[in-house]
Amino acid sequence: MSYRDIITIETDKRGGKPCIRRMRITVYDVLGWLAAGMSTAEIIDDFPELTEADIQACLEFAADRAHRLTAAI
């Protein structure tokens, strides 16, 4: 499954930030939790509506975004 099937962007939700499956949890929320040292299991414990695939999609989204930025330079 592609991250494009999970990550949604709606201009009227969370200021147009990329969110997970039309929820109000953003990619940046998840990346911040991972960067702070939370494990996938801890994130899912705190937010049971998320799945491992959702968290993986956030990482894939971030990697793709970084790749596109460096390719444009």
List pLDDT tens digits, range 29-46: 999 999 999 999 999 999
The identity of residue 1, as a single letter, is M
pLDDT of res. 25: 98
User: CA 37 to CA 35: how far, in whole Å?
Assistant: 5
Contacts of 14 (CB under 8 A, 6+ apart): 24, 26
Q: Give 3-state DSSP helix, strand, coil % of the chain, rounded to 5.
A: 60, 5, 35
pLDDT of res. 44: 98
Domains for the chain: give ranges and CATH numbers: 3-72 (1.10.10.10)
Determine which helix (DSSP H) or strand (DSSP E) holds 8, and give its type and residue range.
strand 7-8
Model confidence, pTM: 0.90
pLDDT category at 69 given cuts 50, 70, 90 is: confident
